Amino acid sequence: MSKNEFVKEITDIEENFPQWYTDVVLKAELADYTETKGFIAIRPYGYAIWENIQNYMDKKFKEIGITNLYMPVLIPESLLNKEKDHIEGFAPEVAWVTKGGEEELEENLCIRPTSETIMSTMYAKWINSWRDLPLMGNQWCNVLRWEKETRPFLRSREFLWQEGHTVHETEKEAKELTLKMLDVYADLIENVLAIPVLKGRKTEKEKFAGAEETYTVETLMHDGRALQAGTSHYFGQNFSKPFNIKFQNRDGKDEYAYQTSWGSTTRLIGAIIMAHGDNRGLKLPPRVAPIQAVIVPIAMHKEGVIDKAQELNDILKVKYRMKLDLRDSYSPGFKFNDWEMRGVPVRIEIGPKDIENNQAVLVRRDTLEKEFVKLDCIEERLGELLEKIQKNMFDECLKIRNNRTTVAHSLDEILKNLEENQGYVKTMWCGNVECENKIKEVTGAHSRCIPFEQEYLDDKCPVCGEKAEKMVIWGRQY
């Protein structure tokens, strides 16, 4: 199979982005469709990416003082109904268990779409005094939301995530924790996944059901559509009152606690694919890649080639996540294409002539640039190269975001910008939901957030023309 023939198995990224995305998910063996409609199987290579994300975040959580726990997957209907806004927000997506074996259940049980309700009942039992606070827990688990349209990683009915839930003595402490967790997500996405984020607060219309305030990290994909990559919510006492989470304060009086919740999901794998990939397939940032470098021996039948490749692999695997490709039924050309399609950041080629010259060839996945490196220097050079690739991938994403960010002063201009350049559109906004709804109706764009970093564009709402003090960023979304 020639190089060109292999690449043709992936749809052109500019011609049909959704199909390109599906091709990459399947060809790179990240996930596959199952017999259960709307549910995917995450394959080992895809799960390894999730493990790297999980390990990084879990370490950050524990540094803050957050501990892991686990809650039941089934939640009684009566619990879900305790917080009115919460149940209204999730009702269309809830899946129910109504029978156990052959018997009808006395009370319907929902398969968790999220765990605020069950978590709150337990916290109410575990908290008595201000000395028990803050209580900060996180669980790594699966959730189920009955999505009408699904796409692997981006919107499947069952997905993996982490959901953190904390309880605090004061409003100030809870709000500070809410923003601190948003910064954890921003750090992961920018410094590990190499995707620039936009941080800000969601509008009232777009906030989480049951929250007082929702904060978000937004990302922009290659095709200009936005992807919400993580959210952090300040609940205030919206759950502590219906669930009776009280504590005896420092004055000996009973007081309702203040809560937060925050989460990110396997959707981040979709973000990596769509932000970085190209017509050769997947392109993985080194810090999250399951394999950081692959060694492909050339002319394996020649004496000493395999031995030298194994020797090199043994040296490098101490420091880096390595793969030695000794498959003897595929040509080197096929292997090159295969590993490029799987997004491995660096390929190391070594053959008889290289061994004679005490060198190997290093090939970058991001730029496809090649360089000859002496074997004695490979360990150090590989580390330098991985850091360069990590930075370059972030810079390329930032360039795309900057090129796809425009300013608009009218509804017509918002639509024109999205049709011509699809991406983020900055406008001022009066704060009225009617104007927000009108923008969505006419352009198909949602408000992404009210960014923390505000700019003054003018003093009028683009829809109603009334006075506007806040800048909002809009975009069509996944």
pTM value is 0.95
Rounded distance between C-alpha atoms, residue 242 and residue 87, angstroms: 13
Assess whether pLDDT exceeds 60 at residue 313: yes
Assess whether pLDDT exceeds 70 at residue 5: no
User: Given this model, what pLDDT does residue 303 score?
Assistant: 95
* 363: β partners: 347, 370
Assess whether pLDDT exceeds 70 at residue 245: yes
Higher pLDDT pick, 368 / 4: 368
Per residue in 88-110, pLDDT (tens digit) is: 767 788 999 999 999 999 999 99
Measured CA to CA in angstroms, residue 35 lies from 16, 19, 39, 152, 156 at distances of 26, 20, 8, 14, 14
Assess whether pLDDT exceeds 60 at residue 4: no
- What average pLDDT score do residues 112-128 get? 95
The DSSP code for 153 is T
Closest CA to 311 of 264, 338, 348, 260: 348
User: Given this model, what pLDDT does residue 149 score?
Assistant: 87
pLDDT band, very low/low/confident/very high, at 87 (cuts 50, 70, 90): low
Q: Which token pair is 120?
A: 């709150």
pLDDT band, very low/low/confident/very high, at 86 (cuts 50, 70, 90): low
pLDDT band, very low/low/confident/very high, at 2 (cuts 50, 70, 90): very low
Per residue in 178-224, pLDDT (tens digit) is: 999 999 999 999 999 999 999 999 999 999 988 999 999 999 999 99
Rounded distance between C-alpha atoms, residue 270 and residue 24, angstroms: 10
List of residues 6+ apart from 364 with CB closer than 8 A: 345, 346, 370, 385, 388, 389
* 139: β partners: 163
Per residue in 38-71, pLDDT (tens digit) is: 999 999 999 999 999 999 999 999 999 999 999 9
The alpha carbon dihedral of 452, 455, 456, 461 has a sign of negative
* 103: β partners: 100
User: Given this model, what pLDDT does residue 84 score?
Assistant: 64
Share of the chain above pLDDT 90, in %: 93
Higher pLDDT pick, 233 / 8: 233
- What average pLDDT score do residues 236-246 get? 96
* 460: β partners: 467
User: Given this model, what pLDDT does residue 459 score?
Assistant: 94
Please state, rounded to an integer, the average pLDDT across all residues of the chain. Answer: 95
CB atoms < 10 A from the CB of 441, how many? 10
User: Given this model, what pLDDT does residue 1 score?
Assistant: 39
- Tell me which H or E stretch contains 344: none
SS3 per-residue string spanning 62-99? HHHCCEECCCCCEEEHHHHCCCHHHHHHHHHHCEEEEE
- Tell me which H or E stretch contains 422: none
Report angle CA 55, 61, 65 to the nearest 5 degrees. 140
Q: Where are the alpha helices (DSSP H) in 160-226?
A: 171-191
pLDDT band, very low/low/confident/very high, at 80 (cuts 50, 70, 90): confident
Q: What is the DSSP string of 287-331?
A: TT-S-SEEEEESSTTSTTHHHHHHHHHHHHTTTS-EEE---SSS-
Rounded distance between C-alpha atoms, residue 172 and residue 463, angstroms: 35
User: Given this model, what pLDDT does residue 85 score?
Assistant: 67
User: Given this model, what pLDDT does residue 3 score?
Assistant: 40
Rounded distance between C-alpha atoms, residue 100 and residue 84, angstroms: 27
Query: Nearest 5°: phi and psi at 113?
Result: -90, -20
In order of their start, the domains of the chain are: 3-276 (3.30.930.10), 293-400 (3.40.50.800), 405-475 (3.30.110.30)
